[in-house]
């Protein structure tokens, strides 16, 4: 008898958002039912067809986690028009665009000043003609993204959008912007708060009529974000090292044994907090934490990828990429695509790992085992009794890791196992599967299908 899915085990995908809203007394989470999943249908009740709007009034884009490239992790303030054109070329010639990477996003420091009419002016030396650059990116079959900030200046000290939301949204639309990352530095003294500032830009973008992905970069989860944007940063900035990747995994994964919500945020948030909401008791965020907020058109964002930037081994980069896929995270490459190694390209373009990330069901994975050093992360995929499983070894030595069908919510029986990095079917197994000698800081990534 083959293993079959028991739906109850996947409660976070099937209505925990509604429970969280009830627990909160409606404050902040009142929108939750709008973005709860209908169980197992592969779509969201809140999302209209292509070209329509989501139930939140946002354009129906980012129905799977956005994929693309962003300039910050590699180039910071050194990004330029010519680099962006070469990156767009490389996205096509390397096969990355064919693998799904679509958005080319210029992060901070492209701006220089505002004209007398209030219109933002791009840095004349590094970005002489933003419209021409967007046209170049579009001609490659790619989409174009920019960065701004809800404050008076960006984190890099360039002009922010506070008080200029409408004129900026209109400028972006005229240039052909498809994606806006919106940061959280230097709030205006007259700001009514982060939520109001983010809503102002969100509404201005919607009012342009152009379907623009709205990506909040506010570094912690705020319960109003899913009503306002397509994705939102849940963590502080990623760094190109293993400690950072594990910290972001725990925060975005909502591992409430390591990270809690804070009622005195953001001041107290630097160390441990995931959720910033002074009005909500911690009990409003039971495990599995932030995963309940993810789904088609609305994603938790543990920050961009560091794969290929040199600070980690390929084993660690494979783990980083696997875990972002298990978490249904945006896959925004942050390396120099013009000069990456074959190993980096192979990691970034593995079709079976990408397929996990982009699965239409859109359920964010969670830890399903008790371990905190040998961890089992899993997410249900579309299809019958199908799961992606990441077996993560956080220790310093190779180790065997066993996933049981019961921990996935499968009945006892047999299930087929495929290794997604080896791209190999391993056979049919009864009750459980053991990956032998998972390397230190490595992940074995599996697809498991009940027979």
| Residues assigned a catalytic role | 183, 237
Q: How far is the CB of 400 from ligand GLA (least distance, A)?
A: 37
Q: Length of the chain, please?
A: 451
Distance CA 436, CA 426 (A): 13
Binding site for ligand GLA (CB under 6 A): 72, 107-108, 147, 154-156, 183, 217, 237
CB of 406 closer than 8 Å to CB of 427: no
Strand 432-438 vs strand 399-404: parallel, antiparallel, or unpaired? antiparallel
377: β partners:
367, 390
Q: How far is the CB of 89 from ligand GLA (least distance, A)?
A: 24
User: What is the per-residue DSSP string for 16-44?
Assistant: HHHHHHHHTTTTTTTTGGGGPPPTTSSS-
Q: How far is the CB of 361 from ligand GLA (least distance, A)?
A: 28
Report the candidate in 241, 261, 264, 242 with the shortest Cα–Cα distance to residue 251: 261
Distance CA 72, CA 123 (A): 16
Q: Alpha-carbon Rg of the chain, whole angstroms?
A: 21
In sign, the C-alpha dihedral spanning 153, 199, 179, 172 is negative
Q: How distant, in Å, are the alpha carbons of 32, 263, 301 from that of 392? A: 31, 31, 20
CA angle 307, 445, 12 (to 5 degrees): 100
Query: What count of other Cβ atoms lies within 10 Å of the Cβ of residue 89?
Result: 14
Number of H helices, E strands in the chain: 13, 20
Shorter beta-carbon distance to ligand GLA: residue 13 or 180: 180
Phi, psi of 241 (to 5 degrees): -150, 160
Shorter beta-carbon distance to ligand GLA: residue 195 or 237: 237
Q: How far is the CB of 21 from ligand GLA (least distance, A)?
A: 28
Q: Which residue has the tokens 């705020």?
A: 222
Q: How far is the CB of 191 from ligand GLA (least distance, A)?
A: 18
């Amino acid at each position: 008898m083959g293993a079959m899915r028991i739906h109850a085990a996947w409660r976070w995908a099937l209505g925990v958002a509604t429970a969280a809203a009830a627990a909160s007394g409606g404050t902040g989470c009142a929108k939750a039912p709008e973005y709860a999943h209908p169980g197992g249908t592969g779509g969201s009740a809140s999302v209209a067809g292509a070209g329509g709007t989501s139930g939140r009034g946002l354009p129906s884009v980012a129905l799977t986690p956005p994929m693309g490239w962003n300039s910050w992790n590699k180039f910071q303030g050194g990004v330029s028009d010519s680099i962006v054109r070469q990156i767009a070329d490389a996205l096509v010639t390397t096969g990355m665009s064919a693998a799904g990477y679509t958005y080319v996003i210029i992060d901070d420091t492209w701006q220089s000043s505002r004209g007398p009419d209030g219109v933002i002016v791009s840095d004349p030396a590094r970005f002489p003609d933003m419209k021409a650059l967007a046209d170049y990116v579009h001609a490659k079959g790619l989409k174009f993204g920019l960065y701004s900030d809800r404050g008076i200046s960006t984190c890099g000290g360039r002009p922010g959008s506070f008080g200029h939301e409408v004129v900026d949204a209109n400028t972006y639309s005229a240039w052909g912007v498809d994606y806006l990352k919106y940061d959280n530095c230097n709030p205006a003294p007259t700001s009514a708060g982060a939520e109001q500032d983010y809503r102002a830009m969100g509404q201005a973008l919607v009012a342009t009529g152009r379907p623009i992905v709205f990506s909040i970069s506010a570094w912690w989860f705020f319960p109003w974000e899913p009503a306002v944007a397509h994705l939102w940063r849940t963590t502080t900035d990623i760094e190109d090292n293993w400690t950072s990747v594990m910290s972001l995994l725990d925060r975005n994964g909502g591992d409430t044994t390591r990270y809690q919500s804070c009622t005195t945020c953001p001041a107290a948030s630097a160390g441990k907090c995931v959720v910033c909401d002074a009005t909500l008791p911690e009990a409003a965020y039971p495990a599995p934490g932030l995963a309940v907020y993810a789904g088609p058109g609305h994603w938790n964002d543990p920050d961009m990828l560091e794969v290929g930037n040199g600070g980690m081994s390929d084993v660690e980069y494979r783990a980083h990429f696997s875990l972002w896929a298990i978490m249904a995270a945006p896959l925004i490459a942050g390396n120099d695509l013009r000069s990456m190694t074959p190993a980096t390209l192979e990691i970034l373009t593995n079709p079976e790992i990408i397929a996990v990330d982009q699965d239409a069901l859109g359920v964010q994975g969670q830890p399903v085992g008790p371990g905190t050093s040998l961890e089992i992360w899993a997410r249900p995929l579309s299809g019958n009794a199908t799961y992606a499983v990441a077996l993560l070894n956080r220790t310093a030595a190779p180790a065997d890791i066993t996933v049981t069908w019961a921990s996935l919510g499968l009945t006892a029986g047999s299930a087929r196992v495929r290794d997604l990095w080896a791209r190999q079917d391993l056979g049919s197994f009864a009750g459980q599967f053991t990956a032998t000698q998972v390397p230190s800081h490595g992940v074995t990534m599996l697809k498991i299908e009940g027979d």
